[in-house]
Amino acid sequence: MSRTHSSRPAAGVAAALLAVGIWAGWVPVTRFAVLTRLAPADIAALRFATAGLVLLPLFALHYREVPWRRPWPLLAMLVGAGVPYFLLFAYGLRLANSGQGGVLGPGATGAIAALLAWAALGERPRARRLAGLAVTAAGVATVVLHDVLAGGTRLAGFALILGASCGWASYTVASRALMMRPVMNAATVAVLNAIAFVPAYLGLGGGARLAAVPIAELALQAFYQGILAAVVALIAFAFAIRQLGAVVAAGFAPLSPVLVAVFGWLLLGDTLDLATTAGLAAVAAGVVIANSDSRAARPEPSAP
């Protein structure tokens, strides 16, 4: 086996961990914004306008690489990682705290992506991976059931975040099917979402709302949302998908809930109840089990 071939899994794992680390901070940063001065639509505009402007030159030079003749997986990619995904998750975080958002977001994504990849791409998960995903799903169910027994006050937020997770799982599988270069994957998502959303947002008075927010808060959100989360992390995650496959790449996502909960506690004072703690433990255990089979981590053939 050549050094280049043998290094692919390691490079994919490193890229997946970088993306997970950035997204772990994304949840409390977004929750802080939606609980203070910014609405989800405001943050979405900052995210995609910033990322779109940064990546527009690249997109303009290489737009022919976009698989325009495959509209359905392209649409799934654009919606699954675009404005609809962001709005669902951000509105959900108005009701769910950081730990719950971490469990129901990245915690659920791996299981949903595995089912979609099996149906759409034929990436049948091995028995150990199925066992890990089942443990992860049990952690998600623990958080939801606890809220149901407590009166269901956060179920609407949970449903929104789970809807966002379905979108992200669709993005994961569509990215695997299209096999675009990671940087063009991120550029396509950012630029086309910016074109579709930002003009309408500004036309409805969004610019005036942003003008009333302190510049430091706008700069924080623009940098974290538009550069780190929408560009750096998306490129890293798309690269991981190419190197590891959709199911293995998505399997790293449940690592982030533990970090999400820690960051949410440190930055926002979000406390952890027993059910959320159990859910975090389950999704962390699930990803360890799912990725403990070395055969599952072998990279699939890359597109030319």
Interval 60-75: pLDDT, tens: 999 999 999 999 999 9
Instruction: State CA 61 to chain mean position distance.
Output: 27
pLDDT band at 5 (very low <50, low <70, confident <90, very high): low
Is residue 269 domain-resident?
Answer: yes
Ordered alpha helix ranges (H), the chain:
3-34, 40-62, 71-80, 83-92, 98-104, 106-121, 127-149, 155-178, 182-203, 206-211, 215-221, 233-244, 246-251, 256-268, 274-290
Residue 9 covered by a domain: yes
253: confidence class by pLDDT, cuts 50, 70, 90:
low
> Above 70 in pLDDT, residue 155?
yes
C-alpha neighbours within 13 Å on the C-beta side of residue 18: 19
Is 98 among the domain residues? Answer: yes
Condensed to tens digits (0 to 9), the pLDDT of residues 190-242 reads 999 999 999 999 999 999 999 999 999 999 999 999 999 888 987 888 788 88
Q: How confident is the model at residue 297 (pLDDT cuts 50, 70, 90)?
A: very low
Instruction: Please tell me the total count of domains within the chain.
Output: 1
Tracing tokens 């950012």 back to the chain, one arrives at: 190
Cα–Cα dist 248/242, whole Å: 10
**Domain assignment of residue 283, yes or no:** yes
Q: Considering the chain, what percentage of its residues have pLDDT values greater than 90? A: 49
Q: Is residue 258 part of a domain?
A: yes
Range of the domain at 15: 3-297
Q: Decide if 281 is inside a domain.
A: yes
* In-domain check, residue 302: no
